[in-house]
Every structure is written in structure tokens, then in C-alpha cells.
Amino acid sequence: MLRFETAGESHGECLVATLTGLPAGLPISVEAINLELWRRQQGYGRGGRMKIESDRAVIVSGVRHSQTIGSPITVLIRNRDWQHWSEALPVENEPGAEDKKRPLTRPRPGHADLAGVMKYNFPDARYILERASARETAARVAVGALAKTFLSHFSVQILSHVIAVEGVRLSRAATWEEIVALAERTEVVLGCVDAEIEGRMKEAVDAAARAGDTVGGVFEVVAHGVPPGLGSHIAWDTRLDGQLAQAVMSIQAVKGVEVGQAEEAAAALGSQVQDTISYDRAEARFTRGSNRAGGLEGGITNGQNLVVRGFVKPISTLKRPLESVDLATREPAAASYERSDVCVVPAAGVVGEAMVSLVLARAFLEKFGGDSLGETRRNYDAYREQLKNY
Ligand SMILES: Cc1cc2nc3c(=O)[nH]c(=O)nc-3n(C[C@H](O)[C@H](O)[C@H](O)COP(=O)(O)O)c2cc1C
């Protein structure tokens, strides 16, 4: 089974991710991983940290001569900020180290700070925020890029775009071509396919920044070219919608996940939300009248575009801090401020792509298996033949 794990602290030496279960013989490009890492660092409304970190992946295991060899792949991403933090977060304690700590004693509402110190029994929240920070998502994006590469060999592509920032919302569906065109832009954008709406989104970010505030929004991840039959209706944990929801929900600051048009459907009549079925005799294939289900029925992909949305809360660290309490004195105090972003919705979308890619690659390998890419290919091609009966 395809599985991954990440490790590393926000201001530690590096982030690390391992990915186990990719078949051997998959061509790997480090630049393809770096491109995804770069995309995660873009987006209108990012803070100073992104200017310091320019992430580069180093692969230290599982890839030889630009190909996977079937063993666990380890990707390492150095934190360039480490040089300023090595005394605050040393691995081994040394005399005087106590004075160089950078304790965070005024927990920030909306972060893991307070719940974390109570759970792990720390006097301050430094070690909690170091791991809770979304810097960890760089490691997810790195292994997500490997999953994306694997899926691309079967013509599955995964991209994201932004459909809402604060109260500004794209009210029409984006076409796949628009989403592809967006991914090819290189300037710092908000990731909306509609230029006029994107302009209004930027204004919302600017207004929040001026007020020392932050904004959230909604990103949409679309997977194109997904074969029908991934995931299964047979058990609660084999349903792909459930797996995708967990994966996307696990992204820092994501507070809700929607597959297809969930919110709209809940307020509509049954006759208005299902996707009608037709048969095209000339093409010898089934067609659908719409894709409101987001490409999943009964927890199984149906061959339409897979559409998953993540609802991102406005990030919690505020320049104009909220009310909190000092952990040492228990006296009221303004929450601590650490350099922070104003809007992370486009970046969260890139992380969403990574999580969807990892879930899809796992479901793909569960269905088609294979210890080498050639074996996976044979199994996949045989299934494609079987689908011709439908
Ligand atoms: C890509 C990305 C970047 C983020 N950057 C920040 C940030 O600079 N400051 C901040 O307070 N929160 C940031 N967040 C959100 C926090 O990590 C998140 O709200 C926090 O870990 C609390 O977790 P929860 O909101 O999921 O409960 C970011 C989230 C993402 C996805």
C-alpha cells in the first residue's frame, strides 16, 4: 500500500518525507518536485517567511539513475532559516541553552498552542507551533509531486484553483482548460480563473493586510483523466470520498471539505442535483448530463473529473493580536505574533493537489498493483480493455 510520513519542525534543520509503495521504474525528476514546492510558496498575501525559504528537494533514498527502485523514497527540504534558529532549537542541550530559547508564552487563539501545551506538558508553546505550523506542508507537497508524476503516466492530471476569498466568490464553474492555463502563469496570483474576480480577491487581501487582519477562502482541486472504478462502495473505509475528505481536511486551516456541489445540493431538490446518464452509440460510451457529484458516486470514481473543495479559515496569527493569557503569569495578554501570512488559499490549493494525488495514487495502486511500472501498466491496460464492454 502507498503510504507517506513527514517529519521536521518549522525552524528545525530540515523537513523530511518518506513515500513507500511506488512501483520500480518510474522516471523521477527533482525539478518536477521543485516546481511544486515553488508553486506552494506563491500566492498573493504570503508573508515574510516565504521570502526567506526557497525550497529545494534533495532525494536521499529510493531513486537511482532518475528512476524509482521500489524502496522507500526519502525527500529532504532544508530550512534556510535554520541558521538563525540553531541555538534556539538545538538537538542536544548545552550550558546556557535555556537562555537562547524563544518561548511563546501567549498562545494564539486558533492555533494548536494552548491545547498542545496542556497535552504535552510544556511550559510554553514553542515546540507545539514548530510542528503544528503549515511549513510541514512543504514535505507533503514534495511526496505529492511523486504521486502526481506516477499518475501522469496514466494520463491523470491534478490541479487547483481558488474559487473564493473572504466574501468574493467565483459563481460559475471553471473549465479544465482555464485551470490548466492558470497553472502556467508565473506571476504572483490569487489563482482565480476569472481576472475581474481575482482583482476583487486581491482587494480583499489588501484591505485585510492594512487592518492587521487575515482572510480565508475556498480552493478547488480537480483531477482530470481519472479512470472509473477507484475506491469502493463496499465498506466505510474503502469509499474514496471519505478518504479524500480526511486527506484534505488534514491540511492546516482547512475546516470543511466538499466533494462536487455538496452545499448547493443540500439546499436543492433531488431532481436538480443528480447527473443524468446517456449512451453515445457512435462513441460507444456512457455520457453524463453534468458533473454535480464531482466524479464520485457511491465512493467510486465514475470517470468524470474529480472535484474536491477545501474551505480554509482565515489564518490565526494576527498583526493586531487577539486576547489571550500569558502562560507564566495567567494574566491577560495580547496573543504572540510571529511573522505570518495574510492569505494562504492558493498555497492551500497546491497542498490540496498533493493530498488528492497521494490518495488517488494509493487507490490506483490498490486497484492495479504492480511492483514495476510495466506491471502496473499491463494491469491498467487490461482493465481498460474490460471497460470497452461498457
Ligand atoms: C500553506 C499554509 C500556510 C499557512 N501559513 C500560516 C501563517 O503564516 N500563519 C498562521 O497563523 N497560520 C498559517 N496557516 C494556518 C495554520 O497552520 C493553522 O491554522 C494552524 O496550524 C491551526 O490548525 P487548524 O487551523 O487546522 O486547527 C497556514 C496554512 C497553510 C495551509
Mean pLDDT by 10 residues, the chain (390 residues): 97 97 98 96 77 85 98 97 93 88 94 98 97 97 98 98 97 95 85 96 95 96 98 98 98 98 94 96 93 98 98 92 95 89 96 98 98 98 93
Pocket-testing residue among 128, 246, 344, ligand 1, by greatest number of atoms within 8 A of Cβ = 344
Under 8 Å between Cβ of 140 and 355: yes
Predicted confidence at residue 53, as pLDDT, reads 61
The residue with cell 482530470 is: 224
Q: Which atom of ligand 1 is nearest to the CA of 129?
A: 21
CA–CA separation, 57 vs 72, rounded Å? Answer: 16
Q: What confidence score (pLDDT) does residue 390 get? A: 83
Phi and psi, residue 212, nearest 5°: 70, 25
The reported pLDDT for the residue numbered 50 is: 58
User: Which of 213, 214, 315 best tests ligand 1's pocket when mutated (most atoms within 8 Å of CB)?
Assistant: 315
pLDDT at 339: 77
3-class state of residue 4 by DSSP: strand
Q: Do residues 360 and 224 make contact, with C-beta atoms less than 8 angstroms apart?
A: no
Site residues for ligand 1, CB cut-off 6 Å? 47, 110-112, 132-134, 137, 251-253, 313, 315-317, 340-341, 344, 347-348, 351
Domain 3-260+295-387: what homologous superfamily? Chorismate synthase AroC (3.60.150.10)
Atom of ligand 1 nearest to the CA of 47: 8
Structure confidence at residue 48 (pLDDT) = 61
User: 195, 158, 150: which is closest to 176 by C-alpha?
Assistant: 158
Domain ranges of the chain: 3-260+295-387
Cα–ligand 1 centroid distance for 136 (angstroms)? 10
Q: Cα separation of 345 and 313, whole Å?
A: 9
Burial class from Cβ neighbours inside 10 Å (0-12, 13-18, 19+) for residue 300 reads: buried
Per-residue pLDDT, 386: 95
Predicted pLDDT of residue 128: 98
For residue 88, what are the contacts with CB-CB under 8 A and spacing of at least 6? 11, 100, 101, 102, 126
pLDDT at res. 51: 60
What's the 7 CA to ligand 1 centre distance in angstroms? 17
Which atom in ligand 1 lies closest to the alpha carbon of residue 317? 11
Residue whose CA is at the smallest distance from ligand 1 atom 17: 134
Q: In the prediction, which pLDDT does 12 show?
A: 97
